[in-house]
Every structure is written in structure tokens, then in C-alpha cells.
Amino acid sequence: MKTLYKNGKIYSMNAEGETFDNILVEDGIVIGMNLLETEADKVVDLKGATMVPGLNDTHMHLVMLGKKLKSLVLYDENDIDHVKELIGNHRSDREWDLILGYDENNFKNSYRLNRRELDELTDKPTIVARVCQHAGIVNTGALEALGIDKDVENPEGGSYEKDENGELTGWVYDTAFDQFRAAQVDDTVETVSDDITQAVKYLYSLGVTGVHTEDMAAYGPNDVPLNAYLNTIGKDQLKFRVNLLRHEAVYEEMIAKDPEFKTDWVEKDAMKIFTDGAFGGRTALMKAPYEGTDDTGLQIHTRENLEKLVKKARKNKDAVAVHMIGDQATELVLDVIEKYPVQKGKHDRLIHVSLLDEEMMDRMAGLDVICDVQPTFLTSDMPWVEDYIGKERADRLYNFRTMLDKGLILGGGSDAPIEDVNPLHGIHALVTRNGKTGVYNESEKISVFEAFQMYTKNAAEIVHRSDRSGLIEKGFLADFAVFDRDVLTVNPDELLEAEVLYTIIDGEVVYQKGGK
């Protein structure tokens, strides 16, 4: 059946200001625009609404988002006594409890829970994950479950915090934290499928039609999350576009198994590698120490090990997708991918790339790379990051205008559930750079059109689908988000109030405000 959408502002996102009077869709594909109604079997009146290509999140954790929607979360809590009350009252039937989103920067004097306080709230093995997911606080029950005491040695790329008496405080970082997250996993294909379904249905309400996600090493054997995606997502199932990054820990196993994916629905992506942590836990790897300390953060891999991982990907003709936040981490990664360049026709993904200087950006512009950036990092970091890294380095954070001017391709992601997944919040941050404490580095603002391209056109280019996705154009996939106002021209603060009226995937309405 041929369906014509008319009487709205229909943006192609190919060129600024380019719109159509109508578009015609058949079998999930745009087959024409600016046509006569007589060519359609069905006409949909947009009633003045605004249609754009479906939005995509270029870096997130979809399964974890599904779990967040069903879990105790602390992301917006700013009263430590209320946090303690929430944890103390929390009940679940799981052997371990995982609580998400603790952020000491929300509390007076950056208050940090310790193990003894957590012990008073619960004796069940419990992990309270810091908002960045690179650190957390665990109780004595969790330590005992893993047989860990004060004599434990720090693993490579991680650490156990100890007090002045050598006792464990309960705070664990990066690879040490990962051990606890792995221990509490009790997922099955069915439970992960439910997490995926919960997350996707929520994303529909935000106009999101696809994501690039990293879940393959966090929920038991990689067959569990992979089969959950394959069993849940597809043309005749839950319609959604998913690209799966393959974590370094399971990459070889997935290569050996060579599973069959679903073109345009569930597709494999690059090898995911971590090189450092995050600013909030002072684990991002820096050239110079954090303010008032001798600490330069955590280096997850030695240069030798990082080279081995990149060579492994190259042997399989794959790109790499590398988490890098600190300037030393970025320099290390650039050294390695310059030494072992990606296969012609592909590009490596640089994830976060938060702290850059001109020389680094120039090096990046000369490589086959794209940048997966998280715009809301800048607004959430603003209130405290200068205290951690100093003004000079803070001024070099999240300089998206300069990156675009140097010809770098930027994809818009959220790192959800670490940050709010709503793309309009990311777009608002890009065009205003306005957070709780004012406007941050105003000269680095970008236009609304450029910001929307990061979630549409650029997102498709990142996963090599620019020939059929990311634009409203003849021959392209019929994935659209329809908003209640002209999101390309409204006052930027109105973006935070805009609502999705319809989300359409493969030509099918998968979400309608107020129900069908």
C-alpha cells in the first residue's frame, strides 16, 4: 500500500532548510516526494507537525537502559539521607542487588557513601554503581561473596580504595568494579529480551528508531544478549535498528562463532575497547595529574596490549570503537591506530574524545575516524569538572564546533543510561551549551541543523548506511520522527518541551502519542 504524508514540515536533513510538501512510502521505503494525492492508497494528514528522519543514538547501552527502567535509580537524587532511605527500603528477589546512578557531585561536599554505611542499609550483596559505570560502592556482603579482603591486590586497569588503616572502603574502580558487575549477572535470553523490549518501547516515545549499543560482554555468555536481540528485533518482530559493538572480551569468540545477523535490523559493529575511565571517578587517563593530586587516572591497557587488540581487529578486517576520555588516553589511541590503520572503506570509532587540543584534532582529521560524542556530558560535567582538572583543561572539553570545522564527523549519542537518553536534550546542549551553572564555552555552540544531522545523517554514515538511511530521500528507509512543533526553528529552550506525536519505522507507526 502506498501512503502519502502531507500538510506538515518535512525536513530531508540533507541540506539546511530543504523540505518537501509531501512524501510517498511503500513497503517501508520512500518512493517519492512532492507528488499528487491520487498516487497514494492512503493519505496521512500531519496537521502542521514536523517530520524528520528517525533519530539514532550512536552510543548507548540498550539492555542496561531496559534494566534502569525497572530498577532503583539514583540519578536525580540530591539528598544523601533520602538515598540511604531508598537503598534501605529497596527489596528484590535477586541474590544480588544492583542500584544505578550514584553521583557524589549531587550531594553537599561531594558526599561519598562508604562500605560500613551500606552495610547498615542491607546485608544482601549489593553494588551501588556510580553514574559513570566506571566505579561503584559495594558492601561487605559483596566483598565476602567474591572472597575479597584488605589484602587484595589491584588488578590491571582497576583499583580497590583503602583508607588510612589499609581497610577497604568499598569503593572499586574500573576492572575491579567489573568483577562485581559480572558476579551479579543472572540473566537469560528471556530476561534480556524483556529488557530490550522495555527500552525500545521507551525510545519510540522519543522518536528514536535505532541505536548503536554495547551489551555483548555484560549479561552472561555473549550468546545470551545476542540471541535476545535476534529473537526480539526484526521486520516481523519489534521493529528497531540496532548495531552491536563487540566488546574486546568476547570479540574472538564471536568471530569464531560467526553468527548470522539481520541486515538493517540487528547488525554487527566494531570491536569495543576501553582505554580509561571517567572524570567523575578521576579515572580518565590524563597527561598531567588531577588538581591537588599526583593521580593521572587509570590506564586500562598497556600500549603493548592495546596494539595486540587493534591488530586482532585488523586481522579480521574490522574497525575498532575505543572509549577515550582523558587526553593521555586519546594520544595513546591515536598512536596505535596511526601505526595500524583501518582497512580502506572503513573507519574507527573514537568514543567520547572529551579532552582534546588542536594537535590531536588535526591528527584525527587525517585519519579514517568518526567521533561518537555525548553532548549532555558537557552540561552534567560543568558544575564540578573545573575543580577536578583546572580551567585550562576544562576549556578544551567538548569543543564540538572546532571538531566540525576541522572536518570531523560527529555522531550524537547519550551513553544511556549514564546520561539522559532523550536526543532533544543532547541537541539542546549542543546549540546552547547551557547547564546548571551557566553557558559553558559559548564559542563552541553548533547550529540546530548540524545538531540534528548528528542524530540522523551522520549516525547513518557511521554504520555505513548513508546510502539508505539518515535522510528523507527517495529510496531510503521509511523511518521518521514526527514532532508537535518545528524543532529546527523554535527557540532552543522549546526543544526541551517538544513532544513526539508519531514514530514510524519501516513505514509502520510504532508509537503514537496517546495510543493508537
Give the pLDDT mean for 371-394.
94
What local confidence, expressed as pLDDT, does residue 75 receive? 77
As given in the structure block, the three cell numbers for residue 180 are 562485581
40 shares its domain with 116: no
Cell numbers linked to 41:
492508497
- CATH number of the domain where residue 403 is located: 3.20.20.140
Q: Last residue of a domain, which of 153, 183, 213?
A: 183
**Nearest C-alpha neighbor of 24 from the set 9, 45, 46, 39:** 39
Question: Looking at 161, 183, 205, which one is the last position of a domain?
Answer: 183
Q: Region 214-225: what's the mean pLDDT?
A: 93
For the cut 70, the answer to whether the pLDDT of residue 314 exceeds it is yes
Burial string for 5-22 (b: 16+ CB within 10 Å, else e) reads bbebbbbbbeeeeebbeb
pLDDT at 402 over 60: yes
Better-scored residue on pLDDT, 142 or 131: 142
Residue 183 scores a pLDDT above 90:
no
The string of pLDDT tens digits covering residues 322-348 is 999 999 999 999 999 999 999 999 999
Phi, psi at 234, each rounded to 5°? 165, 175
Give 239-276 pLDDT, tens digit per residue. 999 999 999 999 999 999 999 999 999 999 999 999 99
Q: Determine, yes or no, domain membership for 282.
A: yes
Query: Is the domain of 309 the same as that of 433?
Result: yes
Q: What is the pLDDT of residues 137-156, one digit of tens each?
A: 999 999 999 999 999 999 98
Per the domain annotation, does 29 fall within a domain? yes
Residues 104, 154 within the same domain: yes
Q: pLDDT value at position 213?
A: 97
Mark whether 483 and 385 lie in a shared domain. Answer: no
pLDDT 10s digits, 290-302:
999 999 999 999 9
Separation CA 342–CA 360 (nearest Å):
18
Is 84 a domain residue? no
Q: What is the pLDDT of residue 98?
A: 85
- For residue 172, give the CATH number of its domain: 3.10.310.70
Question: Is residue 235 included in any domain, yes or no?
Answer: no
Distance CA 490, CA 247 (A): 40
Give the integer Cα–Cα distance in Å for 140 and 133.
20
Q: Give the pLDDT mean for 414-439.
A: 93
Range of the domain at 107: 95-183
Q: What is the pTM of this model?
A: 0.86
Q: Hey, how many other C-beta atoms are within 10 angstroms of the C-beta on 78?
A: 12
Examine the domain organization and report whether 495 and 416 are in the same domain: no
Handedness of CA 145, 151, 155, 157 (dihedral sign): positive
* 398 is a domain residue: yes
Per the CB < 8 A criterion, the answer to whether 371 and 406 are in contact is no
Residue 508 lies in a domain: yes
Residue 222 lies in a domain: no
pLDDT 10s digits, 69-103: 877 888 778 899 999 999 998 887 778 888 888 98
Same domain, 430 and 293: yes
Q: Determine the Cα angle at 26 with ends 21 and 28, to 5°.
A: 105
Which residues contact residue 355 at a Cβ distance below 8 angstroms, ignoring those fewer than 6 apart?
284, 286, 325, 326, 327, 330, 389, 393, 396, 397
Res 23: pLDDT: 98
- Are residues 102 and 48 part of one domain? no
Nearest CA-CA partner of 334 in 374, 403, 275: 275
Query: Binning pLDDT at 50, 70 and 90, where does residue 428 land?
Result: very high
List residues bridging with 238 in a β-sheet: 233
Characterize the bridge pairing of strands 320-324 and 348-352. Answer: parallel
Residue in the structure block whose three cell numbers are 590506564: 299
Grid look-up 546510502 returns 467
Are both 433 and 499 inside the same structural domain? Answer: no
Q: List the Cα angle 22/23/27 in 5-degree steps.
A: 155
SS3 category, 504: strand
Question: Residues 6 or more apart from 92 whose CB is under 8 A from it?
Answer: none
Q: 32 in a domain, yes or no?
A: yes
CA-to-CA distance for 364 and 17, rounded, in angstroms? 30
Residue 516 has pLDDT above 80, yes or no: no
Q: What's the pLDDT at 438?
A: 87
305 backbone dihedrals φ, ψ, rounded to 5°: -70, -40
- Report d(CA 473, CA 52) in Å as an integer: 11
pLDDT of residue 279: 94
Show which of 159, 183, 207 is a domain's final residue. 183
Work out the mean pLDDT of the chain and round it to a whole number: 94
pLDDT for residue 12 is more than 90 = yes
Number of domains in the chain: 3
Grid cell 503514537 is found at 512
Residue 353's closest CA among 345, 292, 337? 337
Instruction: From 417, 335, 320, select the one nearest 376 (Cα to Cα).
Output: 417
Q: Are residues 313 and 386 in the same domain?
A: yes
341 and 479 share one domain: no
Residue 65 pLDDT:
93
User: Taking the CB of residue 234, how many other CB atoms lie within 10 A of it?
Assistant: 16
| Same domain (yes/no): 378, 321 | yes
Same domain for 503 and 381?
A: no
E strands in 472-514: 480-483, 500-505, 508-512
The pair phi, psi for residue 42, each rounded to 5°, is -140, 140
C-alpha cell at 62: 540498550
